[in-house]
Amino acid sequence: MSYHSIIDNFMISAFRMTSFYYLVVGGLVSLLLGGMSLAGNVSSMADLQKHVHQVASRVTAATVALVSDGGETGSGVIVTPQGLILTAAHVVGGDEIMRVVFADGRVVKGRVLGANFTRDAAMVQIMDGGNYPHVELGESDGLHVGDFVVALGHSKGFDPERRAPIRMGRLCTDGKQRFLISECTLIGGDSGGPLFNLNGELIGIHSRVGSGLEDNLHVPMKDFDALMESPASGKAPLPPSPERDG
């Protein structure tokens, strides 16, 4: 291997480590700047760390990368053993088939069941039969400002050298708004990824990043509830929406 190749590989690895570091530490800093008092049943930073670790260990395998025919990448999360994936509408775009990439690098095909661009909500069904890792569904209506949340996503696309980065923060809005807003820092590739409460229940799907650190938008689960009334075939139609939002 040439000298320049060694330097290039070193710089790529350093960039990956630095990016991952700032994604995780960014969430910690936002918590510390907000004060050391914790909400709900979380009584200390040690308890919070334990909760986040437990959530991550349960949901990482179900957090997948989605890749379009054109190579655009986003994230999604599996919510049934049969392989039903929730994601953001702008991730699937106009594609009918997406590549689904698991944490171990395995790739399968998924069929887009539909997309509602007004709500930025979409569903994808893995085409291969199987018993897939999946997460539990939660409710968004009862969420409050200050609730702690955990975000995952394949930031900058799938990377075989790391798992989906984990971020934590607090909600800046309650569950009655059109979008949830959190302190969890989102970047390209995170769109369509999952947002969890500290019980490991799915409460939202990443939509887009706003103008500031606390303007990270997530589609609340209430916008997916009607879509989850799936017929026996495992497919559920989405409400039609002819136009995209922004």
φ, ψ (nearest 5 deg) of residue 237? -70, 150
Query: Are 173 and 219 spatial neighbours (Cβ–Cβ below 8 Å)?
Result: no
Closest CA to 60 of 153, 192, 168: 153
Tell me how crowded residue 97 is: count the other CB atoms within 10 A of its CB: 14
Q: Given 95, 120, 147, 223, which residue is catalytic?
A: 120
Position 33, amino acid: L
191 belongs to the catalytic site: yes
Q: Given 140, 155, 191, 207, which residue is catalytic?
A: 191
120 belongs to the catalytic site: yes
Q: Given 51, 90, 154, 218, which residue is catalytic?
A: 90
53 belongs to the catalytic site: no
Closest CA to 96 of 129, 62, 122, 134: 122
Q: Tokens 């995780």 belong to which residue?
A: 24
Q: Tokens 């971020």 belong to which residue?
A: 167
d(CA 50, CA 200): 12
Catalytic residues: 90, 120, 191
